Structure 1
Amino acid sequence: MTRPDEQYQWSPTGPRPRTAARLLAVLGVLTFPVLAVVLWVGGVVGVWIALGVAAVALGLGTAVLAGTALFRASPDAAPDTGDFVPGARVLVVGGGYVGLVAARALQARLGIAGDGRHRGSRPGRSRAAVPIGSVTVVDPQPHMTYQPFLPEAAGGSIAPRHLTVSLRRVLDRCDVVTGSVVAVDDVRRRAVVHLPDGTSREVGYDVLVVAPGAIGRELPVPGLAERALGFRSVGDAAALRDHVLSRLDAAASISPMTAVEAARRARLLTFVVVGGGFAGVEALGELEDLTRRAGRQVGVDPAEMRWVLVEAAKRIMPEVTEPTAARVHGKLTRRGIEVRVGAGLVSALDGEIRLADGTAIPADTVIVAAGTRPHPLLERTDLPLERTGKVRCTAMLQVIGRPHAFAAGDGAAVPDLARGATLADEDPKVLTAPTAQHAVRQARVLADNVVAYLGGRPLQPYEHSSAGVVAGLGRRRGVAEIRGLRLMGWPAYALHRAYHLWAMPTAERKARIVLDWVGSALLGRDPVAAGAVVPAPRRGDADVEVGAVRPAPVSDAAPQTSSVSHAASSDPAPVPFVAAGVEVDQPTLREPHPSFPVSAPVAVPVAARPDRAVTGDQPALTWLRPGRHDFLER
């Protein structure tokens, strides 16, 4: 399996953190005191009992933390320095959900660590019987993002960073490379990786795991690429939340006294979501609920907001049955959301969204969640692809014609045995859906099949009959279909949260998400848009191209002053500015507005503004000469 000169591969085996003990300490320190306070506020227990429970929880948590720290620092614990183990090189392309779970299961088969601990499921297995020598994971991001929770991150129920899992922290025995795989030559078993510093390197492998995931679908609509907000990453969710909240702040600052101002305010408060699948409906539900609650705090009536869901198909939510989709359609309509089905997008130019039926919607926010397509990396490989661009696989998750290559997730065309496909199908018409439910189980089957292939044992086919689907529609609103049972409202919302919490990797991230939910339920969602602050122009700067503002020429015989005399016969004379050859006569920072009352005439010498470009990053008074404080002596 390996060449003689590469028989041994280095397997780093750093010390494993005591995850269970630390998780228990965190829950004891944080959860139980919060629960005691809630019971005291609700009148269930008295104040002294609540304080006693909180003190005991804090003491136990502190003791557990101290115990784990002392145990790790004990000189009796043998250092884990790693060891050389024989075996094959496994390359995992993609650090998403499938890549993380598969690599995490594969690193458990790396053998026995130097201190005698075994990371596999069978402690009696010897190092010589372990077929894996090294696992390399390549992904452009150093973390995995759990995308089903992105709508809740955009809605403010979960901190965005809590949806990510550090690859290097979890895959502590793998070689994690932060870079992009730009090509795969499977004949030579080489992959070209582009690194962040601009260089490239080749990575050899004996077994290939292809799991790059999918990317957002780009709709060929004029103007959409320049205006649309995506929804595929943690950064997209945070930026979308800040943008939506900033539209509320901007609208609250406009007093609709005229028809033009009323149109501007209505345009700021119009939000269009393109895509009626699970991603679009969940994002719409969370964001609409967020704006409804935040609008009351900033002075915007929720009735002024306009949310529009656009779907080109005849109905929304193709993942569920038609009766369930009709019920969701009705509930969204009763919430005041416009659901437009069978009307595709034709234009997004000039600040208007135009639909195929001729409807024009002036909107300042356009959110695109219109499905996904396979990662373009797959087109730069010599692996067999299906017509949609996915890697053709067998039911054992092996690439057709390449027994050493495996694939799973959104970029793999895996026959769905539960829906009528057979093991002999090489180009099946029935494929597994690109859902988190399949990704969770395919990753585990893939890891087992890689080990079985290297050990010469039979591979197991992937077969999973979907138990149902769950989705969130906002706070305490959801929809679920489980074995023919249809649920709506808070029971479906609870199932949605429970399932995805179970599927979230690592116990530490589960605990953080639960604490986020508790804080959001007790304190409400934070309506602050921290990342959407746009610098406003300073008073006195003309509304022209940046860098074109220059002070008017001042002669040496007549020093420049600002005569601020509040007399009936004459108004204060503003200092003229020349902007692109045109004098701009308006109040500046060097003089007060003419409407400001002044008790006595005061002559204030003003320094000339330096001849340099004015940018929004400069402080407003940096052009004043330091040391000129003589006006304070008057």
Structure 2
Amino acid sequence: MSKADDRYRWSPTGTRPRTPARLLAGFGVLAVPVLVVGLWSGGTTAGWFTLGITAAVLGTVGAALPADSRLPRPSGVAPISGAGDVVPGARVLVVGGGYVGLVAARALQVRLGTAGSGRHRRSGPGHSRASGPVGSVTVVDPQPHMTYQPFLPEAAGGSIAPRHLAVPLRRVLDRCDVVTGSVVAVDDARRRAVVSLPDRGTREIPYDVLVIAPGAIARELPVPGLAERARTFRSVGDAAGLRDHVLSRLDAAASIPPTAPDGAERRARLLTFVVIGGGFAGVEVLGEMEDLARRAGRRIGLAPSDMRWVLVEAARRIMPEVTEPTAARVHGHLTRRGIEVRVGTGVASALDGRIRLADGSTIPTDTVVVAAGTRPHPMLERTDLPLERSGKIRCSATLQVLGRSHAFAAGDGAAVPDLARGATLDDEAPEVLTAPTAQHAVRQARVLADNVVAFLDGRPLQPYRHSSAGVLAGLGRRRGLAEIRGLRLLGWPAYAVHRAYHLWAMPTAERKARIVLDWIGAALLGRDPVAPGAVVVAPRQGDDGVEAPAGAATRPSAEPSVSAARSTPRGAPQLRDVREPTPPAAAPGRVIAGDEPALTWIDHGGDDPRDQ
């Protein structure tokens, strides 16, 4: 590759690599105003101002130099010659707009020419579809945005606005063709993909290079009644809906008077929350929701002791991703917060509003959340790509699909050999695979993007090798868990590390800024307890199942009273029972049916207000 094309080497932002000089320049530009304002009051501005200006100038000069630095090659791993035939003006199809798909598409769109089917902006000599390695990039995903799932628990807890976790694909991939639809089949032998569009139409997309990363879906447990009653936790809508649901349960419980018949039983049912799955996802969402409910409950007169939180895990301990001593510390931490941790027992049924466990105990509840793992996307079964026994795509260490040098895969749906844990480069059926975690997805996305560019340029490919440095998790407001190379942290230091790492991994500076502003607002003003998405349907007059209290005065619902007719403005909508038609002699005026079954316009002799 020539030096003129050197600037198109991959980087997380789709521009030149981040050299130390560029980082120094950015630090100097940010640090100078802070130093000037901070040291001005102390009378020592001159020396520090000069030092800051010098750092900024040196960094800017260094940034203007050619960026010869490259991404660090994994230690002990040599490049592999697996580029295959170079296709000029290649049509690249990216299946999945998640983290892997977004990073790969951003890396490829900077290499687009001026011709082709994409919205290409680059112009000038040497940037045509025929001469460039990439002719077009098409991204297909059912949603027009990428969701950063590690921050979903904080969105459910109210620390982050849910929409700020979604990166709009069309805005970031402004030079790619973004297709909102579901891939229903991939015929790799003919290099064609069939996409189902939102309007129920179909579209066939040809490609030369395939990047397939559809991710995973929630694992369905074979428990009677669980699919109908449980809430999943995989998307922005799931996080927002769960938050609104929990807050609406608190409001409903606070609305029940203590003297009401069966009031204590009804309140207990509303204030009991069950989370199934003791892995990272289950523990994180439980910690965030418990903290939100406890703080929101105090504002409406509900004590933390009124609520019941239950974590159910079929294994003998929670959090298999960490060591047993760390899991035991988290178990004790949750217990001290008043959370019941049931380990070694599964869920037998979820019928009749009760969770029945395998040990015979029952839990009456109105809220059940399933966070019991994932499984590969079923779309992979409708392809002719080689699959592993668990349903994942079989890949080599270079993230290429076995036997298909032009196809790449990564993320939760790819069976990637874990070289750091004993797998070898030539092992086509490794027993040790990378875990489906965000840590691997972030790093696999970068290696995949670099390898796709290397494949198109005819250069050697780099194998993926990453030794996990540790794990991070959030357990609620200012509570976290960190296990980094034998160092175990629990509390606010781990929470700070958890937030810093995932903020760094969050794509786009604009989304990072919005998340930081959300954190600042939540820290200064507290979490907003409003649930705008919780809609409580009020009973209408004449609905079945709504009985008037004993001794209460009643009157026929089909005929409005004279006083009501006088106090209601002419032409105003009124509720009436439309299941039994009102006789013409009993009606005070003509009845004009509205759009809603229980909303009618009662005309008291005037003109129809909808005609005005």
> Which category describes the TM-score, using the shorter chain as reference length?
0.7 to 0.9
In the other structure, the counterpart of 1:316 is 318
C-alpha separation in 1, matches of 2:419 and 2:298 = 51
Distance 1:189 1:249, change over 3 A: same
Report the TM-score, using the length of structure 1 for normalisation: 0.74
Q: Deviations over 1:500-547 (max 9, x none)?
A: 0000000000000000000000000011111112121145655379xx
C-alpha separation in 1, matches of 2:385 and 2:177 = 24
In the other structure, the counterpart of 1:441 is 443
C-alpha separation in 2, matches of 1:579 and 1:398 = 64
Distance 1:610 1:537, change over 3 A: farther
Deviation, 1:451, is 1.9
In the TM superposition, what are the counterparts of 1:275-290 in structure 2 within 5 Å? 275-290=277-292
Q: Quick one: which of 150, 153, 158 aligns to 1:151?
A: 153
C-alpha separation in 2, matches of 1:419 and 1:297 = 50
Opposite residue 475 of structure 1, the aligned amino acid is: R
Q: Deviations over 1:565-616 (max 9, x none)?
A: xxxxxxxxxxx989789xxxxxxxxxxxxxxxxxxxxxxx983794969958
Deviation, 1:196, is 0.9
- Contact persistence 2:214–2:413 (CA under 8 A): yes
Structure 2 gaps, min length 5: 1-14, 16-21, 42-86, 115-119, 548-554, 565-575, 608-612
C-alpha separation in 1, matches of 2:122 and 2:214 = 35
In the other structure, the counterpart of 1:251 is 253
Q: Work out the percentage of aligned pairs sharing the same amino acid.
A: 76
Opposite residue 213 of structure 2, the aligned amino acid is: A
* Secondary structure of residue in 2 paired with 1:229: coil
Q: Quick one: which of 159, 162, 178 aligns to 1:160?
A: 162
In the other structure, the counterpart of 1:625 is 604
In the other structure, the counterpart of 1:53 is none
In the other structure, the counterpart of 1:230 is 232
In the other structure, the counterpart of 1:57 is none
C-alpha separation in 1, matches of 2:351 and 2:592 = 39
C-alpha separation in 2, matches of 1:303 and 1:426 = 55
Distance 1:524 1:371, change over 3 A: same
In the TM superposition, what are the counterparts of 1:381-460 in structure 2 within 5 Å? 381-460=383-462
- Contact persistence 2:184–2:382 (CA under 8 A): yes
Opposite residue 197 of structure 2, the aligned amino acid is: L
Greater mean deviation of Cα atoms: 331-340 or 103-112: 103-112
In the other structure, the counterpart of 1:179 is 181
Deviation, 1:127, is 8.2
* Secondary structure of residue in 1 paired with 2:136: strand
Deviation, 1:261, is 1.4
Is 1:336 aligned with 2:338?
yes
Is 1:524 aligned with 2:516?
no
CA-based RMSD: 3.3
Q: Deviations over 1:98-149 (max 9, x none)?
A: 000111111122258866689xxxxx99987631111111001110000000
Opposite residue 281 of structure 1, the aligned amino acid is: V
Distance 1:421 1:251, change over 3 A: same
C-alpha separation in 1, matches of 2:333 and 2:411 = 32
In the other structure, the counterpart of 1:607 is 588
Opposite residue 625 of structure 1, the aligned amino acid is: H
Deviation, 1:454, is 2.1
Report the TM-score, using the length of structure 2 for normalisation: 0.77
Is 1:211 aligned with 2:213?
yes
C-alpha separation in 2, matches of 1:464 and 1:561 = 76
- Contact persistence 1:256–1:265 (CA under 8 A): no
* Secondary structure of residue in 2 paired with 1:309: strand
> Considering only CA atoms, is the larger Rg found in Structure 1 or Structure 2?
1
In the other structure, the counterpart of 1:327 is 329
Opposite residue 145 of structure 1, the aligned amino acid is: T
Q: Quick one: which of 258, 264, 267 aligns to 1:265?
A: 267
Deviation, 1:450, is 1.4
Deviation, 1:152, is 0.4
Q: Deviations over 1:329-351 (max 9, x none)?
A: 00000000000011100100001
Greater mean deviation of Cα atoms: 249-258 or 299-308: 249-258
Structure 1 gaps, min length 5: 1-15, 40-44, 46-84, 119-123, 555-559, 565-575, 582-604, 629-634
Deviation, 1:623, is 3.6
Is 1:105 aligned with 2:107?
yes
In the other structure, the counterpart of 1:89 is 91
Distance 1:423 1:542, change over 3 A: closer
* Secondary structure of residue in 1 paired with 2:262: helix
- Contact persistence 1:145–1:233 (CA under 8 A): yes
* Secondary structure of residue in 2 paired with 1:470: strand
Q: Deviations over 1:361-414 (max 9, x none)?
A: 000000111110000000000001011000000001011111111100000000
In the TM superposition, what are the counterparts of 1:412-561 in structure 2 within 5 Å? 412-538=414-540, 543=545
Q: Deviations over 1:244-284 (max 9, x none)?
A: 00000000000232561110010000000011111110000
In the TM superposition, what are the counterparts of 1:184-199 in structure 2 within 5 Å? 184-199=186-201
C-alpha separation in 1, matches of 2:428 and 2:464 = 15
- Contact persistence 1:266–1:305 (CA under 8 A): yes
In the other structure, the counterpart of 1:557 is none
- Contact persistence 1:542–1:579 (CA under 8 A): no
* Secondary structure of residue in 2 paired with 1:232: coil
- Contact persistence 1:274–1:370 (CA under 8 A): yes
Deviation, 1:426, is 0.8
In the other structure, the counterpart of 1:291 is 293
- Contact persistence 2:396–2:428 (CA under 8 A): yes
C-alpha separation in 2, matches of 1:398 and 1:510 = 31
* Secondary structure of residue in 1 paired with 2:241: helix
Distance 1:306 1:578, change over 3 A: same
* Secondary structure of residue in 1 paired with 2:292: helix
In the TM superposition, what are the counterparts of 1:6-17 in structure 2 within 5 Å? none
Distance 1:278 1:117, change over 3 A: farther
Greater RCO (CA < 8 Å, at least 6 residues apart): 2
- Contact persistence 2:594–2:601 (CA under 8 A): no
Is 1:300 aligned with 2:302?
yes
* Secondary structure of residue in 2 paired with 1:90: strand
- Contact persistence 1:256–1:262 (CA under 8 A): yes
C-alpha separation in 2, matches of 1:335 and 1:280 = 16
C-alpha separation in 1, matches of 2:605 and 2:238 = 44
- Contact persistence 1:535–1:616 (CA under 8 A): no
In the other structure, the counterpart of 1:239 is 241
Q: Deviations over 1:207-236 (max 9, x none)?
A: 111100000011111111111111110011
Count of aligned residue pairs for this structure pair = 505
